Structure 1
Amino acid sequence: MRYALAGFLLIVTAFSGLMAVSRSVPKLDEPTKAARIELGRRLFYDADLSINGTMSCATCHEQHHGFADGNRTHPGALDDPGRRNVPTLANVGEFPRLTWADPRLTSLEAQVAVPVFGDHPVEMAMKGHEAEIARRLTRDPCYRTQFSEAFPESNGAIDYPKVASALAAFERALVSRGSDWDRSAHNDRAQLGARVFRRSCASCHSGVNFTDARYHRIGPVPPPNAADPGLAEITGRPRDRGRFRTPSLRNVAVSAPYLHDGSAPTLDAAIAAHTRIVPLPAKERGAVAAFLASLTDHAFLTNPAFQLPQTACGNAL
């Protein structure tokens, strides 16, 4: 039974297969690919990508939280309030749609512009300052070397599109497949929770990343003047109010708080929010929480290859 259930939960659905083959990933030789990932890693931790040098990608996407965040929302570099909870980046290279409620964003390279240049909300506050990113990075001889190695066809030229490409390469390297559940090392309570999950949750949280990548509403339809209309903000359709993309559940136990607005402080609260639709007794909610905890990949959370780099070009940073 254990292996049959694991097979059910980890099988790639036909939809998931379509997602995977639709990825537009650059074809690179291994040295160039490695150089691009390492450049992206350094850029991921570099606060020079924000207007005042106070915010990097890693400010919100912290490794020990599964590259999510421990806050309901996160303020921007200029202290503009955050709008939505920070999503995980584990296996983000496999997602067909990115962000909570914008189906237009389907590539990591395009998504980078949301925090860097976006103004709803303002995060890194670089809108109108694209050339400043290149200017700052070009001052560093090591960056010039790294860009030359990562983009050998460009003779070391630095510009924003290459920054976005390198960041996307690093994000695609953030692969999490080593949880207790993946290794069939879970306990009986998690096994019970998996059975409940299969019955009550897997219609949306499906596939290897426990998401169908589609848009759903788990509460009542918000009013037309809601502060966050969800998918309807993009589509303009009233029926899409309150719909948000199903989040991945990989490493979910370390990425509290939950839901698109961070309003559920614990896994139990998040499960309870969903069970307004599918009621579960407390024992089953607890078992589901145990199953979700078994999706934590501790090696992923501590992998040195994903951490803040300590050196570049042979020198300490």
Structure 2
Amino acid sequence: MSAWRFSLLVLSAGLLLTAAVLAWRWTLPAGVPPPPVPADNPTTAAKVELGRRLFYDADLSADGTMSCATCHEQKHAFADGNRTHPGVTDEPGRRNVPGLANVAWFTPLMFADPANTTLETQAASPVFGTRPVEMGMAGREAEIGARLGRDHCYRAMFARAFPEDGGRIDFANVARALASFERTLVSYGTAWDRQQLGPDAKAGSGLFARDCAACHSGPNFTDLTMHRLAPADAALADQGLFEKTGIDADRGKFRTPSLRNVALTGPWWHDGSARTLDGAIARHGLTHDAEEMAQLIAFLEALSDPEFTRRKSLAMPSEACGKRL
């Protein structure tokens, strides 16, 4: 065999291997398209594996006590069951922790920040944010790479995930890996998805379509648009969208939350101030008698996906590089 033909075969084999490495197989129901993925961060198994480990690693916080999973717990559909969650400095949280089911299809991602449109950019908010302080790493970005780089397994995982830049360990690649894992937080296993609603839930679905679906629309029950349900009040501590735009008409506007797994993600409202589902519903100013409220809640409970809260591929990894963590 001539040298050039051998070289061509080696090159072809390398290209095929690269394509195989880059391919990520989305397991989705019929009719659900794969989520949008940035061209500069294609999803790979290596990135997802790395992002999963990072999601559960408290070394991304200032004092090593808080990981992404501290607030986004799988058993709560990646919310946390608290009104708000304090950060590493014990500063109270301002807003309720949202669930992450199907977050890959969401934009914008935050309650009241229209500029936070990708999972890659959103990752900086909890890690470096100061209003409030969450993970407390503002001004310490380089320290993240230094911490992770001391772990030989992380060095190997970054090398596999980011061969194009020599496995560089920095926050940009941390964010890309976290985003890749978060795009696998797919939840389409509810009774509603299976069309297996009981009588009360079926009646509730009709009420929901009449009273709620204008904003809680689409397969993830959100129009991803910011609305104001309470009167605008300049004295409120949290002004919502106004804090980003400075436009008076935006006071008190917050993005419609998804209702997937809503029965598992309480308390509800942007500040977690609604302790019950019927209380959250009542705040919308709608009138329902006791029977209708029970039917609406039955429908909302049918949006829960128990398998999602137990899926092993989303849980804290027990090993990495062949060794127990």
Q: Can you list the C-alpha shifts for 1:86-119, whole angstroms capped at 9, x where unaligned? A: 0111100100201100001101010000000000
* Matched residue SS, 1:283: helix
Match of 1:7 in 2: none
1:34 matched to which residue of 2?
Answer: 45
Indicate whether 1:264 and 2:274 are aligned: yes
1:209 aligns with 2:220: yes
Secondary structure, counterpart of 2:283 in structure 1:
helix
Provide the residue aligned with 2:252 in structure 1: 242
- Provide TM-score, normalisation by structure 1: 0.90
Cα pair 1:108 1:168 within 8 Å, conserved: yes
Q: Is the 8 A contact 1:244 1:260 kept in 2?
A: yes
In the alignment, residue 265 of structure 2 is paired with which amino acid?
S
Aligned residues: 297
Instruction: Name which of 161, 165, 170 aligns with 1:150.
Output: 161
Determine which of 216, 233, 238 is the counterpart of 2:243: 233
1:65–1:255 CA contact under 8 A, matched in 2: yes
With a CA cutoff of 8 Å and minimum separation of 6, indicate the structure with the bigger relative contact order.
Answer: 1
How far residue 20 of structure 1 moved from its aligned partner, in angstroms, is: 5.9
Q: Which runs of 5+ in 1 are unaligned?
A: 1-9
* Residue 287 of structure 2 is aligned to residue 273 of structure 1: no
Q: CA–CA distance in 2 between the matches of 1:82 and 1:230?
A: 14
For residues 27 and 133 of structure 1, what CA distance do their matches in structure 2 show? 20
CA distance in 1, matches of 2:290, 2:246: 38
Q: CA deviation at 1:25?
A: 5.2
| Runs of 4+ residues deviating >3 angstroms | 25-28
Distance in 1 separating the partners of 2:261 and 2:212: 17
Q: How many Å separate the matches in 1 of 2:173 and 2:276? A: 39
Structure 2, unpaired ranges of 5+: 1-28
CA-based RMSD of the aligned residues comes to 1.9
Is 1:105 the counterpart of 2:120? The answer is no
Contact 1:11 1:208 survives alignment (8 Å): no
Q: 1:41-190 counterparts in 2 under 5 A?
A: 41-190=52-201
CA-CA distance at 1:157 after TM superposition: 2.0
Q: Secondary structure at the match of 2:158?
A: helix
Which has the higher Rg, Structure 1 or Structure 2?
2
